[in-house]
Amino acid sequence: MCGIVGFTGSDAALPVLLDGLASLEYRGYDSAGVALQVPGDGLWLRRRSGKLAELTGAVGDAPADATTGIGHTRWATHGRPSERNAHPQTDGSGDLAIVHNGIVENFLELREELEASGHEFRSETDTEVLAHLVADELAEGRSLADAVRSLLHSADGSFAVAVVHADDPGLIVAARRVSPLVAGVADEAAFVASDIPALLPHTREVLVVDDDQVVELRPGSVRITDLDGTELTPELRTITWDVEQAEKGGYEDFMLKEIHEQPAAVRDTLSGRTAPSGELMLDELRLSEDELRAVDKVFLVGCGTSYHAAMVAKYALEHWTRLPCEIDIASEFRYRDPVVDTRTLVVGVSQSGETADTIEAMKYAKRWDARIIAVTNVVDSSMARLADAVLYTHAGPEIGVAATKTHLAQVVALELLALYLAGLRGTRYTSEARDLLAELCEIPSRIETVIGRSDDIHPVAHELVDVRDFFFLGRGVGYPVAMEGALKLKEISYARAEAYPGGEMKHGPIALIEPGTVVVGVATRSHVYAKVLGNISEMRTRGATIVLVANDGDDTAAGLADHVLWVPSTIELFSPAVDTVALQLFAYHLAKERGRDVDKPRNLAKTVTVE
């Protein structure tokens, strides 16, 4: 996720671009840049690594008479945060600049072709490929709009782009596929941006750009065309939100927005990595296949929600790779003298990549010369630098303290890693891996289905708002789902919530079950489904109120429950990525009913950098 902005008008462009970027910084903030058209003198470009303030402090010499330009605030996906990987990217001619939000899935292939035909690359970004492709089209005599349109034919993946060229004064061409893009028009001015907040100081009349559309902006006009160049009549929306609401995309809170972003977070994490053969592209691989084949044991370490993703992955890893796999809460790992050696693979799981407990666990493993992989959402974070290989979750920045979209992205990234290792070790047949990957690609639409049922989950939370004690039960991969459901409820609603494997209740905790206690069971279909229902019956007999996460149409589960949170079914090992969403929404609604600030729960920090 990144933020792009463009302005063309009769006023100075730079202040409009910098203000727009400031309101888009929530979309990414590891580097920023602008490109301005200088009347009669080409383009002026400035990029800086770090937060937007670094760029703002470096534009004192910008041409004041530039009235057209584009800007970018970055959340790195390809290439670490640095000045040369910051946007705008160029084709090296000095005449063309492009900003981009999204991922070009086939960029390696395109880059190879371009290099073979003589193009020189200066960055590690996928975006630079787009700059060279546009330049080639212009060299063939095409207009800037047609050159940008050609990107929609040659590039795969998700992207929103804005392009300026020195030979087309006053013109910005933008295009979109999947990644968001909005345009606005005012007297003698036109704007384009990744999100509405960047436009609000200038206009409340917004044009929504759809997939595979090209936008030509000139002062006072916006023209939208389709893939074939046919002019379209754009949909005009009047925005009534204030800036803060707009940053939240009209949602009440960042947490709710991020829950809704989960299908995209999962899609982007899978994007470009799901070759039918089961091959996985690790973002930064400093480990050979032989080193990975030699691994005889895996440790997965993380904290909080990341630990729960690791718990899910243990089931997948052991099942698919037949490697022994242990999971550890990172703060415990190095203090228990674990058996780690050169054939051990340690996977550190962390949204931020900066959690002190997980960093220390990884350093411990490094001292024993283990192989280390980081699964993180932040490019070039401490863990990414420490590890031998990195698998990034492309969830975009997460602002709500409660992890949601990054968790689901971790779950699918770790599932991919498990399939990759299984492929390397030859423990899964290619055809089986292909079927699994095909189902993994269906997960975003299953998540969408659950999110679409938020209004059915809300009344359940409403009815249980005053309950003091919750127990979350699950078995198999349903157990980490129960753990995560309980953690979400605890941290944002402050209700007491304990999670147990269903079979463990009879060994003690069942003494706490009495009328008024709520038991939330993860009862989706699995090889332990009948066992879970048996455990739920035991709770029901003792007077507990039962809430079940169950698969659509499961009358047996419904017969045992006071309330059902319905979810679509999927392959058992992937079910956490779907079932968890129902529990996130349950926790969200209950916390809101209790009047809590879900984005900033008490006593918590988004990133915990102390041990």
| 365 touches ligand M6R by CB under 6 A | no
CB of 176 to ligand M6R, least distance (A): 31
Instruction: Using the rule CB under 6 A, give the single segment among 13-21, 229-237, 303-311, 424-432 that binds ligand M6R.
Output: 303-311
Residue 490 annotated among the catalytic residues of the structure:
no
Residue by residue, DSSP assigns 234-277 as PEEEE----HHHHHTTT-SSHHHHHHHTHHHHHHHHHTT---TT
> What is the footprint of ligand M6R within residues 415-434 (CB under 6 A)?
none
CA distance 322 to 70: 51
Measured CA distances, 334 to 104, 342, 357, 607, 610 (Å): 39, 16, 9, 20, 15
> Residues 6 or more apart from 74 whose CB is under 8 A from it?
2, 28, 29, 30, 31, 32, 81, 85, 86, 87
72 vs 308 by CB, closer to ligand M6R: 308
Three-state secondary-structure class, residue 500: strand
Closest distance of CB 601 from ligand M6R, Å? 8
Residue 331 within binding range of ligand M6R, rule CB under 6 A: no
- Nearest distance from residue 397's CB to ligand M6R, in Å? 12
> In this chain, which of 305, 551, 569, 584 binds ligand M6R, going by CB under 6 A?
305
Q: What is the DSSP string of 335-381?
A: GG-----TTEEEEEEESSS--HHHHHHHHHHHHTT-EEEEEESSTT-
User: How many residues sit close enough to ligand M6R to count as binding (CB under 6 A)?
Assistant: 16
Q: Which of 129, 372, 387, 403 binds ligand M6R (CB under 6 A)?
A: 403
Residues 533/524, Cβ–Cβ less than 8 Å? no
Q: Are 547 and 518 in contact (CB under 8 A)?
A: yes
Active site residue 314: no
Q: Is 382 in the site for ligand M6R (CB under 6 A)?
A: no
Query: Given candidates 88, 197, 304, 485, which one binds ligand M6R under the rule CB under 6 A?
Result: 304
| Contact status: 123 vs ligand M6R (CB under 6 A) | no
The window from 435-443, 562-570, 589-597, 600-608 that contacts ligand M6R (CB under 6 A) reads 600-608
Q: Which residue stretch of 148-156, 401-409, 433-441, 466-474 sits at the interface with ligand M6R (rule: CB under 6 A)?
A: 401-409
Decide: 96 and 165 in contact? Cβ < 8 Å: yes
Among 55, 70, 199, 303, binds ligand M6R (CB under 6 A): 303
Q: Which is nearer to ligand M6R, 13 or 313 (CB)?
A: 313
Task: Tell me how crowded residue 602 is: count the other CB atoms within 10 A of its CB.
Answer: 10
Span near ligand M6R by CB under 6 A; candidates 244-252, 331-339, 400-408, 519-527: 400-408
Tell me how far, at minimum, the Cβ of 350 lies from ligand M6R, in Å: 3
CA 121 to chain CA centroid, Å, is 27
Closest distance of CB 607 from ligand M6R, Å:
5
CA distance 237 to 341: 60
393 near ligand M6R, judged by CB under 6 A: no
Decide if residue 344 touches ligand M6R (CB under 6 A): no
Q: Which of 2, 248, 257, 303 is catalytic?
A: 2
Smallest distance from ligand M6R to CB 523, Å:
24
Instruction: Specify the stretch interacting with ligand M6R by CB under 6 A; choose among 36-44, 184-192, 300-308, 574-582.
Output: 300-308
- d(C-alpha 456, C-alpha 446), whole Å: 16
Q: By CB under 6 A, is residue 351 in contact with ligand M6R? A: yes
CA dist 219 and 187 (Å) reads: 8
Whichever of 203 and 358 has its CB closer to ligand M6R, that residue is: 358
Q: Are strands 182-186 and 189-193 parallel, antiparallel or unpaired?
A: antiparallel
Distance separating alpha carbons of residues 5 and 425, to the nearest angstrom? 46
E strand spans, 351-483: 371-376, 389-392, 469-474
Does 381 bind ligand M6R (CB under 6 A)? Our answer is: no
Exactly one of 73, 350, 382, 526 binds ligand M6R (CB under 6 A); that residue is 350
Chosen residue from 31, 179, 271, 352 binding ligand M6R by CB under 6 A: 352
Angstrom distances, CA of residue 62 to CA of 42, 67, 77, 170: 13, 11, 28, 17
- DSSP annotation of 231: B
> Are 255 and 492 within 8 A, CB to CB?
yes
Is position 397 an interface residue for ligand M6R (rule: CB under 6 A)?
no
Going across the sheet that includes 157-165, the strands are 89-90, 96-104, 157-165, 172-177, 213-218, 221-225
Cα separation, 35 vs 88, in Å, equals: 7
Site for ligand M6R in 454-513 (CB under 6 A): 491
Q: How far is the CB of 375 from ligand M6R (least distance, A)?
A: 10
329 counts as binding ligand M6R under rule CB under 6 A: no
Kindly state whether residue 402 participates in binding ligand M6R, applying the rule CB under 6 A: yes
The residue whose Cβ lies closest to ligand M6R is 304
Minimum distance from residue 484 beta carbon to ligand M6R (Å) = 8
**Cα separation, 54 vs 121, whole angstroms:** 25
What is the smallest separation between the CB atom of 310 and ligand M6R, expressed in angstroms? 10
Q: Which stretch binds ligand M6R (CB under 6 A): 200-208, 454-462, 521-529, 603-611?
A: 603-611
Match 């679409």 to its residue by tokens.
Answer: 452
- Helices and strands (H, E) in the chain, number of each type: 20, 25
Report, as residue numbers or ranges, the catalytic residues. Answer: 2, 606
Q: Rule CB under 6 A: which residues touch ligand M6R?
A: 303-306, 350-352, 355, 358, 401-403, 491, 604, 607-608
